């Protein structure tokens, strides 16, 4: 998904927040080793090549030529334990504040400055197996980008409880009430979601995570939704609401095997989703295989994935934006990560994809599109 500059925002917010953080650190009580003010972040630069500019929906025009673009991402966060029970966190990130699916900025527009905003601000409480959070916080569900883009941060309240003392099986229950669109004179739009997850230590070398979730969306209005929020889902005849309801059954499984090689562990990730609120075009699935790791110097990791989803299988506003086809696509993904030195990663990712269901018109060919990304990432 392309994000352009908003020059009126520039970096004023970033400067103000840094000044506030400095004041907070200076005026805080003397820190102990148990309650530090932690800073961390990352920076990524990318060159991207797309052979043909792909359509965003079935039947859209195709630009018959390669598109090259340069993309950057910067994220910077703080975390502070208030006491043994509570925790506060906040994070700055590049990207349009009106687009929750990406923190990327496309460079261009005659050297305009980069847009940056607060994409997380939350309080947490941890007590034994109980976890509570409120504000704008990281997605707590076991999930993949088939249903949830990795940049989407939920807003509202979340809770989970992890049950210990059950041997090799560790169950966890997670629930979220998330505000999507608050209205003054209309009904609000919101999400009620829950997930049951089981962590299983099958052997010293094999572990599994199994998750089953149900996400019940109530979308009462699209008055505040932009084109990036609607994307490829079907709209009703008035084009003021969705054609389908969105009540997603989401099943995720991961298998980790560490016995093949210390440097090359194996991981399998599977995801199946069905939208109970749609009468048709309502299923999707994804399969990913990983070999290797990307945690320390000279590590190498390979990935192959295949994903297929129908038009109303997921809510496109919050699913992946690796291409502009958020639903209704068949996609192959090949990626290689190499850790040059600690906290510095080079990555090559290739997406090969097309519409899953092309329109009936013979004037539109359902060709495959190719998108190649060359990434360099540093963490600090």
How far, in Å, CA of 305 to CA of 287, rounded?
Answer: 5
Beta-carbon contacts of residue 307 (< 8 Å; ≥ 6 apart):
146, 284, 285, 286, 287, 329, 330, 331, 333
SS3 at position 211: strand
Contact 373, 74 (CB under 8 A): no
CA 171 to mean position of chain CA atoms: 24
Those residues with Cβ within 8 angstroms of residue 1's Cβ, 6 or more apart along the chain or in another chain: 99, 101, 102, 104, 228, 321, 324
Identify the bridge partners of residue 203 per DSSP, sorted by sequence position. 206
Which two three-digit tokens encode residue 319?
Answer: 């699913």
d(CA 50, CA 258): 36
Those residues with Cβ within 8 angstroms of residue 65's Cβ, 6 or more apart along the chain or in another chain = 52, 53
pLDDT of residue 227: 73
How many Cβ atoms sit within 10 Å of the Cβ of residue 41? 15
Two tokens at 285? Answer: 């699935």
Beta partners for residue 289, in sequence order: 268, 304
CB 326 within 8 Å of CB 312: no
Closest by CA position to 197, among listed 270, 142, 143, 135:
142
Which three-class secondary structure state does DSSP give residue 230? helix
**DSSP 8-state secondary structure symbol assigned to residue 235:** B
Six token digits for residue 110: 């005659």
* CATH code of the domain made up of 12-379: 2.40.160.10
Residue-by-residue pLDDT tens, the chain, 380 positions? 433 334 344 444 445 444 444 444 444 444 445 667 899 999 999 999 998 655 555 545 455 568 899 999 999 999 999 888 999 999 999 988 888 888 999 998 888 888 999 999 999 999 999 999 999 999 999 999 999 999 999 999 999 999 988 889 999 999 999 999 988 888 899 999 999 999 999 999 999 999 999 999 999 988 888 777 777 899 998 888 999 999 999 999 999 999 888 899 999 999 999 999 999 999 999 999 999 999 999 999 999 999 999 999 999 999 999 997 999 999 999 999 999 999 999 999 999 999 999 876 544 568 889 999 999 999 99
Calculate the CA dihedral of residues 321, 271, 219, 160 and round it to 10 degrees. Answer: -110
How many residues does this entry show for the chain?
380
Query: What's the pLDDT score for residue 224?
Result: 84
Q: In this structure, what token pair is assigned to residue 220? A: 């009462």
> Distance between CA 137 and CA 147 in Å, rounded?
17
Q: What's this model's pTM, rounded to 2 decimal places?
A: 0.86
> Which residues lie below 8 Å from residue 289, measured CB to CB, with a gap of 6+?
266, 267, 268, 303, 304, 305
Rounded CA separation 97/74 (Å):
14
Cα(25)–Cα(321) distance, integer angstroms:
36
Name residues whose C-beta falls within 8 Å of residue 266's C-beta, 6 or more positions apart in sequence. 256, 257, 258, 260, 289, 290, 291
Domains of the chain, by residue range, sit at 12-379
């Amino acid at each position: 998904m392309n994000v352009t500059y908003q020059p009126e925002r520039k970096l004023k917010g970033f400067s103000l927040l840094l000044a506030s953080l400095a004041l907070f650190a200076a005026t805080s009580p003397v820190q102990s080793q148990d309650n530090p003010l932690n800073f961390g972040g990352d920076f990524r630069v990318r060159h991207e090549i797309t052979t043909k500019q792909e359509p965003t929906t079935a039947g859209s025009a195709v630009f018959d030529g390669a598109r090259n673009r340069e993309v950057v991402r910067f994220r910077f966060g703080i975390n502070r334990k208030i006491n043994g029970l509570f925790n506060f966190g906040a994070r700055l990130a590049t990207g349009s504040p009106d687009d929750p699916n990406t923190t990327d900025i496309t460079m261009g527009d005659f050297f305009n400055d980069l847009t940056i905003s607060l994409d997380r601000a939350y309080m947490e409480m941890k007590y034994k197996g109980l976890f509570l959070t409120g504000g704008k916080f990281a997605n707590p569900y076991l999930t993949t980008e088939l249903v949830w883009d990795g940049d989407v941060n939920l807003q509202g309240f979340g809770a989970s409880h992890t049950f210990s003392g059950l041997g090799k099986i560790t169950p966890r229950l997670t629930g979220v009430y998330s505000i999507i669109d608050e209205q003054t004179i209309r009904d609000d739009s919101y999400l009620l979601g829950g997930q049951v997850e089981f962590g299983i230590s099958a052997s010293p070398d094999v572990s599994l995570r199994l998750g089953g979730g149900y996400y019940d969306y109530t979308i009462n209005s699209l008055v505040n939704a932009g084109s990036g929020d609607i994307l490829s889902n079907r709209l009703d005849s008035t084009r003021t609401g969705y054609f389908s309801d969105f009540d997603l059954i989401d099943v995720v499984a991961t298998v980790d095997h560490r016995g093949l090689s210390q440097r090359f562990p194996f991981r399998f990730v599977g995801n199946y989703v069905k939208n109970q609120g749609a009468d048709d075009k309502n299923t999707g699935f994804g399969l990913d295989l990983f070999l290797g790791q990307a945690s320390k110097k000279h590590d190498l990791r390979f990935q192959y994935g295949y994903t297929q989803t129908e038009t109303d299988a997921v809510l496109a506003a919050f699913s992946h934006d690796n291409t502009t086809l958020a639903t209704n696509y068949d996609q192959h993904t090949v990626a290689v990560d190499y850790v040059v030195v600690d906290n510095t990663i080079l990555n090559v990712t290739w997406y090969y994809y097309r519409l899953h269901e092309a329109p009936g018109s013979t004037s539109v060919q359902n060709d495959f599109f190719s998108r190649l990304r060359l990434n360099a990432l540093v963490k600090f």
